[in-house]
Amino acid sequence: MAEDLHVVQGNKEEQYRSLIPQIKGLLDGEPDLVANLANVAAALKEQFGWFWVGFYLVKGEELVLGPFQGPIACTRIRKNKGVCGTSWAQATTLIVPDVEAFPGHIACSSLSKSEIVVPLIRNNEVKAVLDVDSESLSYFDETDQRYLEEIVALIVI
Ligand code: SME
For 62-106, what is each residue's pLDDT tens digit? 999 999 999 999 999 999 999 999 999 999 999 999 999 999 999
Cβ burial, residue 37 (10 Å; 0-12/13-18/19+):
buried
The CA 7 to ligand 1 mean position distance, Å, reads: 26
Residue owning the nearest CA to atom 7 of ligand 1: 73
Residue 46 DSSP SS3: helix
Residue ranges and CATH numbers for the domains of the chain are 12-153 (3.30.450.40)
The CA 154 to ligand 1 mean position distance, Å, reads: 23
DSSP 77: E
**Helix extents (H) in the chain:** 12-27, 33-48, 82-90, 142-153
List, in order, residues 6 or more apart from 90 with CB less than 8 Å away. none
Q: Is the CB of 66 under 6 A from ligand 1?
A: no
Splitting the chain (157 residues) into consecutive groups of 10 residues, what average pLDDT does each group show? 85 98 96 98 98 98 98 97 98 98 92 97 97 98 98 97
User: What are φ and ψ of residue 68, in 5° steps?
Assistant: -155, 170
The CA 149 to ligand 1 mean position distance, Å, reads: 18
From 50, 108, 139, give the residue whose CB has the most ligand 1 atoms within 8 Å, as the site to mutate: 108
pLDDT attached to residue 37: 98
pLDDT attached to residue 1: 55
Q: Is the CB of 113 under 6 A from ligand 1?
A: no
Tell me if the pTM is above 0.95. yes
Q: Is the CB of 53 under 6 A from ligand 1?
A: no
Q: Is the CB of 133 under 6 A from ligand 1?
A: yes
- CA 55/CA 44 separation, integer angstroms: 12
